[in-house]
Amino acid sequence: MIAKQIHIYFKHKVIRAKYWAPILILIVFTIQLHAQDKKELEIKRKQTQKEIEYTNSLIKKTRLEKKNSMNQLLVLNKKISAREELINNMQSEIAYLDNRINILNIKLDSLEKDLIQLKHAYAQMIVFAYKTRSAYDKLIFVLSA
């Protein structure tokens, strides 16, 4: 939409410049017809040629500005597309990391439950070992020292 508006804007500028050049030429030629002196005619002819060259340079400049503006618009559109792609990428990464965090939290909960069970089993083994100790264990302890 913006590109179309820019295109129309510059198109009107170029069209205006194309219409002004012939009008300027006609005005200059009518003035030349009234001139009597040959030197005046030559001076006016040179002025007219300069005005035509200036008008042509304005037309070229307008075309270049249009081309530059269109190039800038294309570059900005590419930049916007790249940033949108970057945002989508980051959103995908965030979703992946959220999922990974949830999985790791579930594993952590499971490991904590296993740790509690292992501590409980270890405590039971210590109690059992204490209750089932014998005089033979004391003898082994003394002999090992």
Per the domain annotation, does 93 fall within a domain? yes
Instruction: Tell me what pLDDT residue 64 has.
Output: 80
pTM: 0.46
| Domains held by the chain: number | 1
Per the domain annotation, does 128 fall within a domain? no
In sequence order, which residues have a C-beta less than 8 Å from that of residue 49 and are 6 or more positions away?
A: none
Per the domain annotation, does 57 fall within a domain? yes
E strand or H helix at 91:
helix 38-131
Per the domain annotation, does 114 fall within a domain? no
Q: Residue 55 class from Cβ within 10 Å (0-12 exposed, 13-18 middle, 19+ buried)?
A: middle
Q: List the domain range (segments joined by +) for residue 95.
A: 2-106
Per the domain annotation, does 111 fall within a domain? no
Per the domain annotation, does 119 fall within a domain? no
Per the domain annotation, does 34 fall within a domain? yes
**pLDDT-wise least confident of 73-82, 90-99, 130-139:** 130-139
Give the mean pLDDT of the chain: 79
